[in-house]
Amino acid sequence: MTNGGSISKTIGGVVFANEFTALIYDLRWAVLLCGSLILADLWLGCRSAYNSGKEVRKSRAIRRTANKFIDYLMYMLVAAMIGMVVEQMGWWSHTNVALCGILLGCFCEIESILGHWAKLHGYSFSIRKVILKLVGIKSKEVADIINEELE
């Protein structure tokens, strides 16, 4: 009985791990930015909850923070895989597409941070609402539909 199947799985795993490590290294500053934004969101979210009298459960906050980081890394990986296909067509490199994936996560965190900051200072703010107004959507029904879909 041979273990040729397990050797090929091991080699495949090592190759994938090397690709992933190289991608993380190439995008290390974007990953660091995303991690920093997630920590800033955690800090401001806890302060915002504390100021409004809500209980802050540390285990839930840490779990949600870790889940966000893993989700954003998955966005980056999926975008990198799409980028591998796009790169074959000669359009964009997989690193640039992966950067777009992790910047999507950064955008989500910036919106959350601004929302917490505004709440701490007694304001209400949403980047989505600003973008919808900048785009010039005149119909309230269309804006409501887009808001519902984005939430």
| Other Cβ atoms within 10 Å of 30 Cβ, number | 21
Q: In tens digits, what is the pLDDT along the chain, a chain of 151 residues? A: 455 557 666 766 677 778 788 888 888 898 899 999 999 999 988 888 888 788 888 888 889 899 998 988 888 888 888 888 888 888 888 888 888 888 888 888 888 888 888 888 877 777 777 776 766 666 666 667 777 766 6
- In order of 4, 16, 87, 140, the CA distances from 22 in angstroms are 27, 10, 16, 46
Residues 6+ apart with CB under 8 A from 100: 79
pTM of the model: 0.70
Residues 6+ apart with CB under 8 A from 114: 125, 127
Rounded CA separation 117/140 (Å): 27
Q: Hey, is 139 helix, strand or coil?
A: coil
The residue count for the chain: 151
pLDDT at site 12? 65
pLDDT at site 91? 81
Q: Hey, is 69 helix, strand or coil?
A: helix
Rounded CA separation 139/143 (Å): 6
pLDDT at site 53? 81
pLDDT at site 75? 86
pLDDT at site 143? 67
pLDDT at site 1? 47
Rounded CA separation 38/109 (Å): 6
Hey, what are 38's tokens? Answer: 């997630």
